Amino acid sequence: MRIVDSHCHLDFDSFENDIDAVVERAREAGLCRMVTICTKVSAFDRVLAVAERYDDVFCSVGVHPHEAGSEGDVSLDRLMELARHPKVVGIGESGLDYYYDNSPVEAQKASFRTHIAAARETGLPLIVHSRDADSDMADMLEEGARDGAYPGVLHCFTAGPELAARAVAIGFYVSLAGIITFKSAESIRETVRDVPMDRLLVETDSPYLAPVPMRGKRNEPAYTRHTNRVLAEVKGVSEAEMAEVTTENFLRLFSKVPPPDVSSGAVV
């Protein structure tokens, strides 16, 4: 079974002491690709260093909405320049977070517009973080698409059916994290039933939000399989089929990531 963690944060301090073991456990669990996600351009070197250390780990470049105030305006040119590195396969994570009040809404929106432009210019998928911002997010995604198409994914999906439908309508993918395994997440599972199979991805968002039965522990890429299992139940397919479909979807969206060698099962 080949599986992909489309969104983790392996550069965070909680992985500092055992990153090699974390990556090894992921491989043993069938993970063939992982994308470690940038949250601050000022920390990009650290993120890139993790991706450069492992053949099967790739990274993104961008500014998390929580950091949109403190990181200042990152220019389109700067994002595009950093995105040229062969290990950089996505733009973000960027977006809107109205749940935490960590940076002003206008700063979040300005930063998000720059990231949309970077995704359009580079052709790399935009990794979108959206929390309690469904209606503004859908408006901004569509506004961006009017200036020209760009690929992207709603990561750690917790939104309602309207944002899901409007994002899918402009070609977006939807990535499910451990939250989908929580008992309380019935409304998310219900929304996901209507998302087309060919638009689904899985992720951990580790070190946060470990899926059941690991809930409360530090999350890590190996646990992607628990999310995959629950997603398979929701969609009424086998775990193996869900893993295959989400891996194919990932490779289609993250087109800069070299596909793993299928014939030998080895990671290349």
Measured CA to CA, the distance from residue 266 to residue 225 in angstroms comes to 19
Quick note: the x/- pattern for Zn ion over 125-154, rule CB under 5 A, is ----x-------------------------
Measured CA to CA, the distance from residue 59 to residue 86 in angstroms comes to 10
Q: How far is CA 40 from CA 62, 91, 111, in A?
A: 6, 12, 12
**Shortest Cβ distance from residue 187 to Zn ion (Å)?**
19
* Smaller CB separation from Zn ion, 63 or 83: 63
Instruction: Return the range that interacts with Zn ion (CB under 5 A); candidates 67-75, 93-101, 109-117, 132-140.
Output: 93-101
Cis bond upstream, residue 86 (ω within 30): no
Count of residues touching Zn ion (by CB under 5 A): 4
Q: Which residues contact 250 (CB under 8 A, 6 or more apart)?
A: 4, 6, 33, 201, 257
**Shortest Cβ distance from residue 130 to Zn ion (Å)?**
8
**Shortest Cβ distance from residue 241 to Zn ion (Å)?**
27
Q: Please say whether the beta carbons of 66 and 105 come within 8 A.
A: no
- Alpha-carbon 200 to chain mean position: 11
Per residue, the 3-state secondary structure of 53-74, as one string, reads HCCCEEEEECCCHHHCCCCCCC
Quick note: the x/- pattern for Zn ion over 185-204, rule CB under 5 A, is --------------------
* Smaller CB separation from Zn ion, 56 or 67: 67
**Shortest Cβ distance from residue 97 to Zn ion (Å)?**
8
**Shortest Cβ distance from residue 38 to Zn ion (Å)?**
9
**Residue with CB nearest Zn ion?**
129
Q: Please say whether the beta carbons of 85 and 124 come within 8 A.
A: no
Quick note: the x/- pattern for Zn ion over 32-71, rule CB under 5 A, is -----x----------------------------------
Site residues for Zn ion per CB under 5 A: 37, 93, 129, 205
